[in-house]
Chains A and B, each alone.
Chain A
Amino acid sequence: DQQVKQNSPSLSVQEGRISILNCDYTNSMFDYFLWYKKYPAEGPTFLISISSIKDKNEDGRFTVFLNKSAKHLSLHIVPSQPGDSAVYFCAALGPNTDKLIFGTGTRLQVFP
């Protein structure tokens, strides 16, 4: 039972354009969401997060949007850069636990 889903395994975007990565979840108890970025041969690194009491969080080129009614969140990267090419994982956290539930990841490729 995949509680966090990333339905697009890959995404290809031209440099300078916007990248939109999507994530859906099924458990309404999740109250904190995170995005991680992973390069080959490295562990995932934290990118940005959002609490369920917000609908948007912005950090530089990265913005995460949360639609609680649709149980959907998205990560926007604008403008996209070749160095953004990596696998992006969304993750969800329920109350009173440190157990992160990850999606299957979306491989983003930004080409010149």
Chain B
Amino acid sequence: KAGVTQTPRYLIKTRGQQVTLSCSPISGHRSVSWYQQTPGQGLQFLFEYFSETQRNKGNFPGRFSGRQFSNSRSEMNVSTLELGDSALYLCAVRDSFTGELFFGEGSRLTVL
């Protein structure tokens, strides 16, 4: 079964700062997706990486970016933070046999 480790679990930033979140698929899955969860908006797709290439992108401003490394680890970056960026950011990997999407526990970002 796939496992996903996200760091940091919690962080607090102020407006205008930037943040980098990390996602490490334990079993080396090649596809990594990022989602943002906010109250009232549910989970919204940010982007998906496959073999270090961005394959899909959601409707988020350019302040949101990501990348994937050769070991499948992925990072997402948010620059010039706004209050509305406060959310739980979830990383997910897909099991190539079952198609099931496995989520990490998320990184909860609070922007003050």
Q: Does B103 belong to the interface (CB within 8 Å)? A: yes
Given contacts A41-B105, A42-B105, A43-B4, contact A102 B44 (CB under 8 A): yes
Instruction: Give the A-B contact count at a CB cut-off of 8 A.
Output: 56
Q: Does A34 belong to the interface (CB within 8 Å)? A: yes
In the bound complex, residues from chain A placing their C-beta under 8 Å from that of B43 are 44, 89, 91, 100, 102, 105
Taking a contact as CB atoms closer than 8 A, the residue among A91, A99, A104 that contacts B56 in the complex is A99
Task: Give the interface centre of A32, A34, A97, A102 by most chain B CB atoms within 10 Å.
Answer: A102
In the bound complex, residues from chain A placing their C-beta under 8 Å from that of B90 are 43-44
Cβ-closest 8 pairs across A and B? A43-B103, A104-B42, A102-B43, A99-B56, A43-B105, A102-B42, A44-B103, A46-B100
Residues of B bordering A, CB below 8 Å? 4, 31, 33, 35, 40-45, 48, 50, 55-56, 58, 90, 92, 94, 99-106
Residues of A bordering B, CB below 8 Å? 6, 32, 34, 36, 41-46, 49, 89, 91, 97-105
Q: Supply 13 A–B pairs (Cβ within 8 Å), ascending by A.
A: A42-B105, A43-B92, A43-B104, A98-B55, A98-B101, A99-B33, A99-B45, A100-B43, A100-B101, A102-B35, A102-B42, A102-B43, A104-B42
